Structure 1
């Protein structure tokens, strides 16, 4: 009987030690050292990572070596969450070369905090509800943009131009399509 009690006592003791160790491992690490980056992270669905779904139009832009200026502009205008919405969205994404072709100082000026509204309006002028490939876009005369303005669609041979910008590539996304364009589409002011 004493040997059974000893075994039972040892079993309880071992279970207790294991339980204590498991609890110690599960405790969160100290939060005293919070990095500046962590404390400055933005909120919203644009910052949720999902390894299972097809990339969003924002993911595609972020992953492109030719769209660093566009991504910086989207971040400055705080439009990241718009570009990860369910959509479908067509984004006409100007390349870095297209932004560089603007008059000197234009991009730098637009990226200033006081020009956030103007920048957002220009970026929204590059977004259309829907998911149409280049061939289907040939059927349109104009597109209504998220800027509440329209842009013309022109077909020249096999090339399609939207708002005067030539579509040079297209990449399907989980929430739409990214049409890479060779020009920044500036809304006409009245």
Structure 2
């Protein structure tokens, strides 16, 4: 009986030791990854509806927008609980800007100006395309108003047409065909 108790105690001890060392190794390798990319913007969840930023990241038509969001370091603003309405210009919309504009905005010294432009593409609330036709102006996240016009029964936002609308876990993303540039502040 004493031998059986000793064997059980040894087995439990080895099991505890085995679990402890593998947990330590696992957490130390996770720590190096965690320090690289932290915050809500980098949480991976394959089963949930993607948030506004994840939609842009997953779209090959929005790589310039994603680069701008990262350069301005406003990722977490697009993953907040919301609800948010994001007007997401396509790569073609950025290409239509005067030559050198995008490259200039992506420079570190222009981070604040770029963030202001990006915030001009975001408004609080989950505003569907047909609901936008009820507005003349909408307040944007940069504290400026964006003009809404109705053309052929559809909302035209600051001169940009809505090409598609994609529901997100924290609002809605409207794909647009132009970059919205805020009016100069006086």
TM-score by length of 1: 0.87
Please tell me whether the aligned partners of residues 130 and 154 of structure 2 are also in contact (alpha carbons under 8 angstroms): no
Q: Does 1:49 align with 2:59?
A: no
Give the 5 Å matches for 1:62-101.
62-101=57-96
Alpha-carbon offset, residue 51 of structure 1? 4.3
Q: 1:15 aligns with which of 9, 12, 16?
A: 12
- The residue number in structure 1 matching 2:103 is 108
Q: Structure 1: any 5+ residue segments left out of the alignment?
A: none
Query: How big is the alpha-carbon RMSD for the aligned residues of Structure 1 and Structure 2?
Result: 2.1
Whether 1:186 aligns to 2:181 is: yes
SS of structure 1 residue aligned to 2:36? coil
Which structure has greater helix proportion? 2
How far 1:158 sits from its partner (Å)? 3.7
Corresponding position: 1:171 with 2:166: yes
Instruction: Provide the rounded CA distance (Å) in 2 between the counterparts of 1:85 and 1:68.
Output: 21
Distance in 2, Cα, partners of 1:110 & 1:85: 24
Q: Distance in 1 between matches of 2:25 and 2:137?
A: 55
Measured in 2, the distance between the counterparts of 1:123 and 1:181 equals 13
**Unaligned runs of at least 5 residues, structure 2:** none
Cα distance, 1:30 vs structure 2:
9.0
Deviation at 1:168, TM superposition (A): 0.6
CA displacement at 1:87 relative to structure 2: 1.2
Point out the structure with max Rg over C-alpha.
1
Say if 1:39 and 1:19 are closer, same or farther in 2 by CA, change over 3 A. closer
On the 8 A contact 2:163/2:177 being kept in 1, the answer is: yes
The alignment partner of 1:87 has SS state of: coil
